Structure 1
Amino acid sequence: MMNREPAMDINHHAMTRRRFLGLSGLTVLAGCARVPTTGPVTQVSASGDTGGRQGIAVDPQPPPRGASPDLVVAGFLQSMTSPQDGYRIAREYLTTDAARTWDPDSGAVIYDASTASPVVTGTSAGLKAPLIATLDPAGLYQPVAGANLSLDFGLTREDGELRISTPPSGLVLSQFSFERAFHSVALYFTSLTRSYLVPELVHLPAEASTPTTAVNGLLTGPSQWLSGAATNVFPTGTKLSSDAVPVDSSGVAVVPLSREVTRLTDAQRRQIAGQVTWSLSTFPEVSRVRFTVGGTDVMIPGAAEDDTVSTGLFTSMSPLLSADLPNMMVLKEGRLGQVADQSGVFSPLAGLLGSGTASTAPAGIAVDRSGAFWALVDKPRRTLLRWQQGARTATPLATGVGLLRPQVCTDGSCWTISVQANSSRFIVVGQSGQRIEVRADELATRRVLAFSVSPDMARIALVVAENSARRLAMLRIRPVTDQSTGVIADGLTELRLDTTDTNMALLDDVGWISATDLMVVARATTDSPGAPFQIAVDGSGGIAVGPLSGVDVVAVSTLPRADGINALALTGAGQVLRYEDRYRWRTIATGATAMGICV
């Protein structure tokens, strides 16, 4: 008899994303979306398709008669907050020709308004400001460094009124407005190398952030960058068979799909149901999902009696853990031990590492998520070892030069990076002891200082040094296309975090705290104290994780989870701090040289 899913609600807290940065500046907003933001939307509940998430309420006004240059520019910028009717109000500030050709869906720029404002004279108007990031037409965020925004709005008179003749090619957003009026939606695709779902963030205006746009974005597929590591199981040509994904009063989202999905196997239907259900878990108005073709329910293996599903049916597709009170391990005076959460009592582990000395202590440690075994880098940083708790010896796995702190990944493989001068290469050993080749040609001329493999094993976050800079970068993990074994790590993308916060100018460490978020250790200058920051996978929305004062954080150890944060921080003075929800760090150990966290 087929096991069917009980009627249980989606855990919305896992993937709901809304970011706020306290940056001052003009309230200037614009938006773009993966799919068109105009067109009919069917509302079937009191909350409608948006679930009441409207961001900042803005009521833009058309230009008054005899408006001054200041009013025309300010009105145009503000009216870009309203995408209704194809940005009808914004177009009223443009000349007839400009209103006809302006394409607000072509993308957007995000700028720093704290040091700039529109420059308006009696006959002209412009805007110059540091450029922070861009959004492409799909809503994908890309940080930009060392560039400035320079606009000339080309004020001219038409029928006796001042109008803008040369608008920007797309939309213009201040950072202040972007963080408050845009929603981040995680769209989930299928990994090419593992059985996990892989998220990709898109940023949508609040009014366009709906289950309908999310499903349409999912059907469009992953970005070109992510497509090397993830794919859609949906057959080519699959689309929504109606204009909307309605959500009824009981929270059931009905996803009407075209007939292409009828060709899928049971396993494939389950896979696409997992993709959609996890993607819709962003929306609090959605508790369950039903799929239809031609008005008939699509049978999803394991679905409830009413053919609905929730994320509870697809927990195996997520590599995240639920661990509110993880085990905290500390290397202290050469011995590895567990620290009790409340008392702070240090209890050495049995075996080699629990009875070691400072002279034989490893330079880097990493624990398996379940705490079953450890990966070690010896003090000379030349040997990667594996150690089973209680064992009197450690097993050598591989050798290299300048090995970085290792990581035990979701599949049990042990990773480190061998660094020599300005060249870096991965050293990876599988759970059964076999060497796994990771081709990363782009690291052959770069010096890596720290790294962290994502829990879905589709991305690698890196701290890369270049001259005096230490920046965050991202690699994707994709399968080798020929008959060789191993994987390829390529598509190196640099994410400049100092464009949004100068306190993140120099990075020391990085670790994944969820499927879509990282924790980094960053500082403003080499002489400034290090502090932890939370940053999205695409480099957007950096916020300090604190408060912390009087300490210099140099490293973090993280355990990715579905909601909340599991993290330890190590200070330069040897303190180990445990993060507690509600933005509080608590000292749990002193005199430490390394740390690890597991369930």
Structure 2
Amino acid sequence: MGADREGGVRRPPVRAVAYAACGVVLLAGCASMPDSGDLRDVESTPRQDTQVRVFAVPPREGASAGDIVQGFLEALTSDDPNYDTARKYLTAHAARQWRPERSATVLADGPSTQPDPLMGGRDDPHNLTYTLAGVRVATVDEQQAYAPAAGSYSKKVHLTQDTKSGQWRIDGLPQGVVMGKSDFQRNYTSVNKYYLASNTSVGTSGQPVAVADPVFVRKRVDPMTQMVRSLLKGPTRWLSPVVRSSFPTGTELKKGVSSLTPDDQNRLTVPLNDKASRVGAAKCTEMATQLLFTLQNLTPTLDSVKLRGADGRTLCDLNEEKAQAIAWHGSARRPDFLYFLDSKQRLVRIPGVDTGTSALPVPGALGEGAAPLRSVAVSRDEHTAAGVSSDGKSLYVTSVASGGSLGDPVVVSRGATEHDRLTTPTWDARGDLWVADRDPRNPRLLLLEQGAGRPLTVRTPELPGRIKDIRVAADGVRMALVVEKDGKQCLLIGRIERDDKSGQPLAVLEMHSATPGLEEVTAMSWAGDSRLVVVGREQGGVQQMRYVQVDGSTPEGPAPPAVTGVKAIAASEDEQVPLVAYSEDGIVRLPSGAQWQKVVKEGSAPVYPG
């Protein structure tokens, strides 16, 4: 529960007092609230700078029931680590029973509050009930996992007045917290924690693959310690079936450790309980790798992690270089080249981070024009390329090396028209190649292990429409699918489940929307470990480009600047690599901190490896 803050000035008697010298903002917890009257929103406070700490104030003596309700909602949007001040608005029993960490409900605006005239009032002047109401936008569960939500929100808050002291307190309230969208954005931040794919490894070395699991934590309430505790508790329910944690079950921070802080060498020491004391060296380095990837996502300057057992003994010590050797990490792999099709429908490339615009044909059959192409995908090691023929019927796979022959197509679609045939192919870090056949008579999601052999059909039992486009995540356990139905398209994220013994994918399951506000999705690409860039249109709106998280939330930071008539978009998991688009102006590129720049006028289908 909480009060939304937009950019307006708070109406009297609610006040926000800023002490600039120490960077403190005190939010008054006692706003005037009549015991009857019209529906009112909890008033908004100006959005605060991310470095300003916000503290709640306890209820004042003799506060009315309405003041208590609004003061409690205000207290929930503060930076009080354990909500101690918020609990002062509750009776002793309610304070013990209330679990604010159980969930967070995000509303479009702050919760409206209205006294219920049918409960309390004249018949029982010492008991009152208020209704909190609003329009839901999202929820965050007890695992800190975000999910878009819709519909109305309505919950009761009951207050009682002590007959001796005359003080009003809340004695009945829903579990969790509720607040408006702008308060949520001010209070919470999304951070990736990392686990290892259960049945996915890279190359002949068998290197495990790191998988991002985004969660929301409170920004200014020791987020580093929050993230360590969250990582130790294990993955979120949605991701759990396809990842593993190297931490033994029951591993926690050592008793008495309440906060973690890196030293002046940017090293973090993490004391663990006795559950971790007997792990071997290999398992310990995996544990430290999970921790380092997780915390660097929060604090990029962190260089190393040391794990310490309950007896004070060092279990292992890991720096960034060693961590990259332990687990394959998509965002740490910078592509060598950007690839696209030239005016002759041949595969060409330019250096991935170069500012040049001189494209050269890729070695091998696809660069030599052995078959005109309409879409391509290059393996993540950049040794192999897959191309779909210009009519959409045939998928070819060939080496990116001089002298490589085209060979026979590995997949052939029997769709009647170009739009009923093969989608753009896509590779994961395991080396597997994915493509969808849009033939209405036999729609299929297909996988070619290591880009060769007989195509395997992967089940999609929850698919709500027809696949238009697909992109597999580097980790090989998540897939983004553009699905169309009744003239509308949505972007879904599905979980790829594999057979425990063979490692072959069985199905893409539990699909959920990553773009609930869009009715048309023109193009999309992975643009980080848990982020995508999407080109689409809201109902009645114009085409726009935006970043989205796999959980459906909107990441912090600005959207890419607009570019006209985008037909395809390419991005890398390494967020420092420029965005590239195929637009009305040809192939254009967006370097960091700059505007869109033309690469070539005649070109199409840009892709980075993957």
Q: Could you state the TM-score of these two structures normalised by the residue count of structure 1? A: 0.79
Residues 102 and 170 of structure 1 are in contact (CA less than 8 Å); yes or no, is this contact kept in structure 2? yes
Cα deviation, 1:518-541, whole Å, max 9, x if unaligned, reads: 11222113x644332112222212
Aligned to 2:504: 486
- Shift of the 346–484 alpha-carbon distance from structure 1 to 2, 3 Å rule, reads closer
Change (3 A) 1:409 1:299: same
Task: Quickly say closer, same or farther: Cα 1:292–1:277, change in 2 above 3 A.
Answer: same
Which residue type is aligned with residue 408 of structure 1?
Answer: W
Cα distance in 2 for partners of 1:436, 1:259 equals: 48
Q: Is the 8 A contact 2:107 2:138 kept in 1?
A: yes
Match of 1:63 in 2: 59
Distance in structure 1 (CA, Å) of the matches to 2:441 and 2:78: 49
Instruction: Indicate the SS of the match to 1:521.
Output: strand
Structure 1 match to 2:31: none
Q: Secondary structure at the match of 2:199?
A: coil
**What is aligned with 1:362?**
373
Q: Is the 8 A contact 1:475 1:490 kept in 2?
A: yes
Kindly provide the amino acid, as one letter, of the partner of residue 268 in structure 1. Answer: K
Pair 1:172-2:178 in alignment: yes
1:150 is aligned to 154
Q: Assess, with a 3 A threshold, how the Cα gap between structure 1 residues 467 and 157 changes in structure 2: closer, same or farther.
A: farther
Counterparts of 2:149 and 2:182 in 1: how far apart (Å)? 16
In the TM superposition, what is the alpha-carbon distance from 1:293 to its structure 2 partner?
A: 1.7
> Which residue matches 1:309?
318
Matched, 1:564 2:576: yes
2:531 maps to 1:517? yes
- Which residue number in structure 1 is paired with residue 522 of structure 2? 508
AA partner of residue 63 (structure 1): P
Q: 1:119 to 1:588 in 2, by over 3 A?
A: farther
1:426-457 Cα distance to aligned partner (Å, 9 max, x none):
21213362346363242566311222111111
Q: Distance in 1 between matches of 2:465 and 2:434?
A: 18
Secondary structure, aligned partner of 2:61: coil
Contact between 1:513 and 1:565, CA under 8 Å: does it hold in 2? Answer: no
Which of the numbers 210, 213, 236 marks the counterpart of 2:249?
236
Q: Map 1:443-522 onto structure 2 (within 5 A).
A: 446-481=465-500, 486-498=504-516, 502=517, 504-522=518-536
Name the residue aligned to 1:74. Answer: 70
Q: Residue 534 of structure 2 contacts residue 548 of structure 2 at CA under 8 Å; is this kept in 1?
A: yes
Q: What is aligned with 1:216?
A: 229
Matching residue of 1:330:
341
Partner residue of 1:440 out of 459, 474, 486: 459
8 Å Cα contact 1:519-1:533 kept in structure 2: yes
Counterpart CA distance in 2 for 1:403 and 1:26 is 55
Corresponding residue pairs, total: 535
Change (3 A) 1:350 1:322: closer
What amino acid sits opposite 1:228 in the alignment? P
1:496 shift after superposition: 4.9
Q: Secondary structure at the match of 1:273?
A: helix
C-alpha distance 411-100 of structure 1, shift in aligned 2 (>3 A): closer
Bigger mean CA deviation after superposition, 422-431 or 577-586: 422-431
Farther off after superposition, 128-137 or 56-65? 56-65
What SS is found at the alignment partner of 2:83? helix
CA distance in 1, matches of 2:7, 2:461: 38
Matched, 1:373 2:384: yes
Which of 109, 119, 141 aligns to 2:146? It is 141
Q: Secondary structure at the match of 1:442?
A: coil
The 3 A distance-change label for structure 1 pair 26 and 326 is farther
Q: Which of 285, 304, 307 pairs up with 1:270?
A: 285
User: Match for residue 103 of structure 2?
Assistant: 107
In structure 1, the partner of 2:25 is none
In the TM superposition, residue 254 of structure 1 has moved relative to its aligned partner by 1.6
Kept in 2, the 8 Å contact 1:135–1:142? The answer is yes
Task: Give the conservation status (yes or no) of the 8 Å contact 2:5–2:180.
Answer: no
How far did 1:315 drift? 0.7
Alpha-carbon distance in structure 1 between the residues aligned to 2:247 and 2:356: 52
Q: Which amino acid counterpart does residue 320 of structure 2 have in structure 1?
A: T
Match of 1:541 among 544, 547, 554: 554
Which residue type is aligned with residue 598 of structure 2?
Answer: T
Aligned position for 2:26: none
Greater mean deviation of Cα atoms: 182-191 or 383-392: 383-392
1:309 shift after superposition: 1.8
**Structure 2, unaligned runs of 5 or more:** 15-48, 122-128, 201-207, 416-420
Q: CA deviation at 1:229?
A: 0.7
The residue identity in structure 1 corresponding to 2:214 is L
Match for residue 182 of structure 1? 188
CA distance in 1 between counterparts of 2:101 and 2:215 reads: 14
Q: Aligned partners of 1:136, 1:170: CA distance in 2, in Å?
A: 9
Deviation of 1:230 (Å):
0.3
Contact 1:442–1:492 (CA under 8 A) maintained in structure 2 = no
CA distance in 1, matches of 2:170, 2:601: 62
Question: What is the SS of the residue equivalent to 1:366?
Answer: strand
Q: Which residue of 1 aligns with 2:269?
A: 254
Checking the alignment, whether the CA contact within 8 Å between 1:424 and 1:446 is kept in structure 2 is no
In the other structure, the counterpart of 1:405 is: 424
CA distance in 2, matches of 1:372, 1:531: 34
Matched, 1:298 2:314: yes
Query: What is the CA distance between 1:285 and its match in structure 2?
Result: 6.9
Alignment partner, residue 130 of structure 1: 135
| Cα distance in 2, alignment partners of residues 210 and 238 from structure 1 | 19
Q: Is the 8 A contact 1:553 1:569 kept in 2?
A: yes
Q: Is the 8 A contact 1:407 1:416 kept in 2?
A: yes
Cα deviation, 1:213-263, whole Å, max 9, x if unaligned, reads 322222211122211110112222333223326433433322222333344
Deviation of 1:137 (Å): 1.1
- 1:416-427 aligned within 5 A: 416-421=435-440, 424-427=443-446
Structure number with larger C-alpha Rg: 2
Q: Structure 2: how far apart are the matches of 1:577 and 1:22?
A: 39
Work out the CA distance in 2 between the residues paired with 1:366 and 1:70. Answer: 61
Q: Residue 56 of structure 2 contacts residue 80 of structure 2 at CA under 8 Å; is this kept in 1?
A: no
Q: Is the 8 A contact 2:446 2:456 kept in 1?
A: yes
2-structure distance, mates of 1:560, 1:583 = 19
Amino acid at match of 1:584: Q
**1:230 and 1:485, CA in 2 relative to 1: closer, same or farther beyond 3 A?**
closer
State the alpha-carbon separation in 1 of the partners of residues 344 and 586 from structure 2. Answer: 13
Report the CA distance shift for 1:60/1:396 in structure 2 as closer, same or farther (over 3 A): same
Q: Do the aligned partners of residues 100 and 190 (structure 1) sit closer, same or farther apart at CA in structure 2, a change above 3 Å counting?
A: same
1:382–1:514 CA distance, 2 compared to 1 (3 A): same
Stretch deviating more after TM superposition (338-347 or 506-515):
338-347
The residue type paired with residue 150 of structure 1 is S
- Residue 39 of structure 1 is matched in structure 2 by none
In the superposition, relative to structure 1, how do residues 480 and 322 fare at CA in structure 2: closer, same or farther (>3 Å)? Answer: closer
- Contact 1:26 1:113 (8 Å CA) reproduced: no
Distance 1:110 1:296, change over 3 A: same
Q: Against the structure 1 CA distance between its residues 55 and 154, is the aligned structure 2 distance closer, same or farther, given a 3 Å change threshold?
A: farther
C-alpha displacement of 1:68:
5.0
Q: Show the counterpart of 1:15.
A: none
> Equivalent residue of 2:174, what SS?
coil
Larger relative contact order, structure 1 or 2 (CA cutoff 8 Å, min sep 6): 1
Matched to 1:253, the amino acid is L
> How far off is 1:155 after superposition?
5.2
> Secondary structure of 1:451's partner?
strand
Secondary structure of 2:215's aligned partner: strand
> Does the CA-based 8 Å contact 1:187-1:202 persist in structure 2?
yes
Q: Tell me by how many angstroms 1:473 deviates.
A: 1.6
